[in-house]
Chain A
Amino acid sequence: MGFPEEVLEHVFSFITSHTDRNVVSLVCKSWYEIERWCRRRIFVGNCYAVSPAMMIRRFPEVRSVELKGKPHFADFNLVPDGWGGYFYPWICEMARAYPWLEEIKLKRMVVTDDNLELISKSFKNFKVLVLSSCEGFSTHGLAAIAANCRNLRELDLRESEVEDLSGHWLSHFPDSCTSLQSLNMSCLSSEVSFSALQRLIARSPNLKTLRLNRAVPLEKLSTLLRRAPQLVELGTGAYSAEIRPDVYANLTEAFSRCKEVKGLSGFWDVLPSYLPAIYSVCSRLTSLNLSYATIQSPDVTKIITQCPNLQSLSVLDYIEDTGLNALSLSCKDLRELRVFPSDPFVANANVSLTEQGLVAVSEGCSKLQSVLYFCRQMSNSALTTIAKNRPNLTCFRLCILEPRAPDYLTFEPLDVGFGAIVEHCKQLQRLSLSGLLTDRVFEYIGKWAKKLEMLSIAFAGDSDLGLHHVLSGCDSLRKLEIRDCPFGDKALLANVSKLETMRSLWMSSCSVSLGACKRLSQKMPRLNVEVIDEQGDLDSRPDNCHVEKLYIYRTVAGPRFDMPSFIRTMDQNPTYRS
């Protein structure tokens, strides 16, 4: 420890992972001090775990801030409007404290046009704005960003809900702006001025990622591609047009010039006749997202069999088992597969996609690590086969569409199958369960899933024992989200200290009583125990009533005060501490 500060700082500059930096800061007081002054990137996984003031006090020289707001189940409408996750307090403080801030990345947060305008005017060197699944802003806010951020490198609005007033915002990029490297506007619906878009692309020589929105017509795509042959990631707009040989020829030629393209997405409204235009880039593709393309299995298969270097594929279940079989034979480098349902609310399968497709991919693709699979039937034997084929899985999310669906061959619960997954896949970090499951599956999970960090449970289990197995057995658990399970007070109250080692726990439509929430809160002052109940009148409810929804998270910032009336943080009154 006799090194001068500058040397240590230089050494620390090579340490980039957040966890490693946190560990470094714990070595000794002087390392803590040096480290906090040279930390440039901050990641806050739960925006309520710490306050902006605390962050700024400890880390004064930050260039990049990443925040996450709402719980994951907000994606499925389980978190009521007005819950929170406001960016406002953060931007207010950062605007004052971090004049040299370059990057802001937000996920599931509420961002307003005023917030965006404040960003655009506060940071002279602002470069990167990523708004993932955010809401609360309109295209006016985007216009401010476009107009004022002179060195903007990246604007990514992935999956955000934007009030789309017009496409005029894009025209606010000044002619002097030539720094753009990445633009993702795929979530917007309004048409932008095509000439403004064309000129923007033409003056951005470093543009590598371009994800257009549905409104950009296919006939005009070739014009854009010709001005950006250096693109690496392309998201098309709507992929259909009147069948015209000149449009087709232009498109084919434009694609053939894109020698650097490695990723394709978009493909809304696909007209299959235009698909061959992309064939020339297929051999270089590592990533392909066809999850909006309502094309049938033969057309999907025709594409993927030409992509031997594919690492990541997203498709609809129109691919069917035959297509997945072809995938398993053609794409030996596949790491990630996501299969979405084309008709999620229909009881009977409209496509021939079963567990067999996934089994085939698990057999043929030895590098497969990450799976998201929606299907209508599953069996323990298929799950066991998949587990034995692919012990290298790190993420396994299975959604059998019918809640509590048993093994379709034996009518038994799927405990044994998921048990095989956690037993064989020792590096598993993320797991989503579905189908008919008893407490036994949780026994397996608690016993085997030692590296599991995130677990999603729905319509499963028999009793508190299930939840207890998970809380007491999963050593690496950080995020647990549960809905519609018969888990109640016992497991929670027997594992209170576990909850402080996790980022958060979500439970909705379970059997946790209001009284237990109060007791939990009293025992654990560094947890916020938030009860969400839209039926109103929480104060007059008896302690034995079940709460609708419960969100528990560790925090050093104390209870929050930006909640709507139907959310209450349980009192941490020390008088009743046991």
Chain B
Amino acid sequence: MDLNYKATELSLALPGTDDSPELNTTTTSTPIKTNKRGSPEMGPSAAGESKSAPRAKAQVVGWPPVRSYRRNALQGKKVEPEMGSGMFVKVSMDGAPYLRKIDLKVYKSYGELMKSLEGMFACIIGLYNEKEGYNGSKHAATYEDKDGDWMLVGDVPWEMFVTSCKRLRIMKGCEARGLEL
């Protein structure tokens, strides 16, 4: 019976002298590609919020290690009624210390929505249009749709927007330019 001693040996020789192919002891091993990697022109410091297309993660069992009673306790807070009693979505603005919530059902058009947001965050948000692009305003409104993609506010008909918008984010105008492409 072959007890395969070789398989039980662990050689502690210098890295590279062991014949097992899976040993990777180089210190500058390239990081495994994750969706945290930004596009080259953004530079290393851009990792984080300004990534292209942030999306919801596929859930791995038991990760992150948060106990279910904790998750459930917070889950309860997030269940928002979508029919009848309102369609509340979170609104964040880059640089603001906390988020707001608005009821999309209250508005009839993009114009009304923008006015309300401008009042809430005391900023000027422009509406993008094909001819003028961003009309020089400092901020742009974007939203996350049902697929988890980040879209520029204003492209689709209002009714379609209301049903597909999950949350809003007011970005700095320069960053929003990437979404135009």
Known A347-B56, A350-B92; contact A73-B62, beta-carbon cutoff 8 A: yes
Asked whether A347 and B54 contact (CB < 8 A) given A465-B23, A578-B3, the answer is yes
Majority secondary structure, A binding face: loop
B99, CB-defined interface residue at 8 Å: yes
- Which residues of the other chain, A, contact B9 by a CB distance below 8 angstroms? 490, 494
A340 neighbours in B (Cβ, 8 Å): 66, 70
> B123 at interface (Cβ–Cβ under 8 A)?
no
Whole-angstrom CA separation of A297 from B98 in the bound complex: 7
CB neighbours (8 Å) of A462 from chain B are: 22-25, 29
Q: What is the total number of residues of chain B having a CB less than 8 Å from a CB of chain A?
A: 52
B60 proximity list for chain A (CB < 8 A): 403
Question: Does B31 sit within 8 A of A, measured CB to CB?
Answer: yes
B-contacting residues, A303-340, CB 8 Å: 316, 318, 320, 322, 340
- Chain B residues in 8 Å Cβ range of A402: 34-36, 57
B14 CB to closest chain A CB (Å) equals 11
How many of A's residues come within 8 Å of B, CB to CB? 70
CB closest residue in chain A, given B59: A345
From known contacts A76-B63, A296-B98, A401-B64, infer whether A408 and B31 are also in contact, taking CB-CB under 8 Å.
no
Q: Decide if A491 touches B22 in the complex (CB within 8 Å).
A: no
Q: Which of B54-83 contact A (CB under 8 A)?
A: 54-57, 59-71, 73-74, 77
CB-defined contacts of A410 to chain B, threshold 8 Å: 44
Q: Which of B45-53, B111-119, B152-160 contacts A (4 or more CB under 8 A)?
A: B45-53
Q: Is the CB of A76 within 8 A of B65?
A: yes
Chain B residue numbers with a CB within 8 Å of A458 are 63, 65
- The distance from the CB of B104 to the nearest CB of chain A, in whole angstroms, is 18
Cα A486 to Cα B21 with chains together (Å): 13
Residues of A within 8 A of B15 (CB): 465
CB–CB B66/A404 < 8 A: no
Set of chain A residues within 8 Å of B44, measured between Cβ atoms: 408-411
Q: Which residues of A contact B25 (CB under 8 A)?
A: 439-440, 462-463, 465
Rounded to whole angstroms, the CA-CA distance of A401 and B71 in the bound complex is 14
Contacting pair A346 B63 (CB below 8 A):
no
**Which listed residue (A73, A269, A296, A412) contacts B97, Cβ 8 A?**
A296
A342 contacts partner chain B, Cβ-Cβ < 8 Å: yes
Q: How far is the CB of B98 from chain A (nearest CB, A)?
A: 4
B8 at the interface (CB under 8 A from A): yes
A292 contact from B28, B36, B73, Cβ within 8 A: B73
Report if B7 contacts A (CB, 8 A): yes
Which residues from A are CB-within-8-Å of B12?
Answer: 468
Q: Does A176 have its Cβ within 8 Å of any Cβ on chain B?
A: no
Closest Cβ neighbor of A348 among chain B residues: B54
Contact of A436 among B32, B51, B59 (CB under 8 A): B32
Chain A residues within 8 Å of B62, by CB: 73, 76-78, 483
B residues lining the A interface (CB < 8 Å): 3, 7-10, 12, 15, 20, 22-25, 27-29, 31-32, 34-37, 44-45, 47-49, 51, 54-57, 59-71, 73-74, 77, 90, 92, 97-99
30 A-B residue pairs with CB within 8 Å? A75-B67, A76-B61, A77-B62, A77-B68, A159-B69, A161-B69, A187-B69, A268-B73, A269-B77, A291-B70, A296-B98, A347-B56, A349-B49, A350-B90, A374-B64, A376-B48, A399-B64, A402-B34, A408-B48, A409-B45, A411-B31, A436-B32, A440-B25, A458-B63, A463-B23, A464-B23, A490-B8, A490-B20, A493-B7, A519-B8
The 6 closest A-B pairs by CB, nearest first: A76-B62, A494-B10, A348-B54, A296-B98, A408-B47, A406-B31
